[in-house]
Amino acid sequence: MGKRYFGTDGIRGLANGEQLTPELALKVGQAAGTHFLKGSHRHRVLIGKDTRLSGYMLEQALTAGFTSVGMDVVQVGPLPTPAIAMLTREMRADLGVMISASHNPYYDNGIKLFGPDGYKLSDADEAAIEALIAADVPRARDASVGRARRIDDARGRYIHAVKASFPDGARLDGLKVALDCAHGAAYRVAPEALWELGADLVTLGVEPNGLNINDQCGSTHPEKLAATVVASGAQIGIALDGDADRLILVDEQGRIVDGDQILALIACSFVRSGRLKGGAVVATVMSNLGLERYCASLGLALARTPVGDRHVLAEMRARGCNLGGEQSGHVILADHATTGDGLVAALQVLAVLVAGNRPASEVLNLFTPVPQLLRNVRFAGGKPLEDPRVKATIAHVEAELGSRGRLVVRPSGTEPLIRVMAEADDEALVARVVEDVCEAVRAAA
């Protein structure tokens, strides 16, 4: 049976809409708190958020839920998702919560949960919590009711951890960096960390007002950053998303660089320094065939997973790999984090720049991408991928591509969209087969 609330990355939806309400957040707090009330110690949950207006509402509702079942709550305010994962583990919390809808607009929000080890919850844990949401959980009484407090030094703890991922003794003096924080969770920690390492900063997206997160800025809209890099003479541009677990780069010429090229650069750096583990880089089915070919030139496999950083991380752990990610910019460096961390990934790239004294346009152009086209088809309801006409079209296209390319057709995990992606060396063929599949989906929807 599928889960009702949890999707590919926690619970997400329109804040105060049909599902993601304060009432649901209260029940999630009670259910998750009850599930993690194990042992006789005083239990603790850590709650962070990004800068969305609705974060205040959901934070208080979750706090009420957790304290009502006997969990103490530590609120840390706006911090990146990877910071919450790290602090959950370091503060010996039983559970971590990040209130964020990542790269979505401000009117959406979400609830991401981390276990005491700092990793996102398993499907089994999520299913157990969903069952408790529907049940009447026992509430704490008298002195067992939880307390809530806010701590002020969480930002500094995360900055220290981020800087520890940068090579010992290295600095960013003389490097001009344009930084776009998407008016999101990293609006303070990212500039502070880079400034402390010596970078000359030009900042964008560092004035959140609750409504402007990801609004024509950040990793999903890097065009303004690209223009700023060129106009300011910056040597590189860094774009994070609303919760700073994604990274997109811009080279000094204003060219936008996606997660595949970032993975290629870090893989090359790790291979040369003997740091690459597991003999492979883990990526999703959406990563470009050019990345796969480049990894092969390094003697590495490219292990592919379904879309979603939790699938990437699961495969990394199974294979003993320390590098994985997504074309969209999630980059997981298992030696430093338990989830994607845009700032830590950016520092690996900056380390290569300062060590080699080469321009970003050179170090971030390690392979030529195979022509790839992605289109989204919105549907009103039903299951268009189960339609016989769609199945037949997909089968025909896969046969036509054969070994010359790839086709990936999948439903979005967060929106009513069917995503259609194809790639092959023949660009005209790619455009035609994508349109054929999209037309079949539109007819079925």
Catalytic machinery residues: 102
**Cβ pair 298, 267 in contact under 8 A:** yes
Residues ≥6 apart with Cβ < 8 Å to 1? none
Give, as one character, the DSSP assignment of residue 37: -
Phi, psi (degrees; rounded to nearest 5) at 88: -60, -45
Nearest to 360 by CA among 207, 209, 228, 249: 249
Give, as one character, the DSSP assignment of residue 236: E
Distance of alpha carbon 340 from alpha carbon 332, whole angstroms: 4
Residues ≥6 apart with Cβ < 8 Å to 57? 15, 16, 22, 25
Give, as one character, the DSSP assignment of residue 7: B
Nearest to 78 by CA among 246, 216, 190, 215: 190
State the residue for tokens 């774009």. Answer: 239
Helix (H) or strand (E) holding 339: none
Nearest to 357 by CA among 229, 202, 172: 172
The sign of the CA dihedral 110, 116, 412, 182 is positive
Residues ≥6 apart with Cβ < 8 Å to 33? 43, 45, 65, 66, 68, 69, 70, 71, 95, 146
Residues ≥6 apart with Cβ < 8 Å to 260? 283, 287, 288, 290, 291, 327, 369
* Residue 192 buriedness (CB in 10 A; 0-12 / 13-18 / 19+): middle
Residue type present at position 244: A
**Structure-block tokens of residue 149:** 């407090």
**Cβ pair 272, 315 in contact under 8 A:** no
**Structure-block tokens of residue 399:** 């046969």
Distance of alpha carbon 226 from alpha carbon 35, whole angstroms: 46
Distance of alpha carbon 113 from alpha carbon 248, whole angstroms: 25
Local structure of 223: helix, strand or coil: helix
Local structure of 264: helix, strand or coil: helix
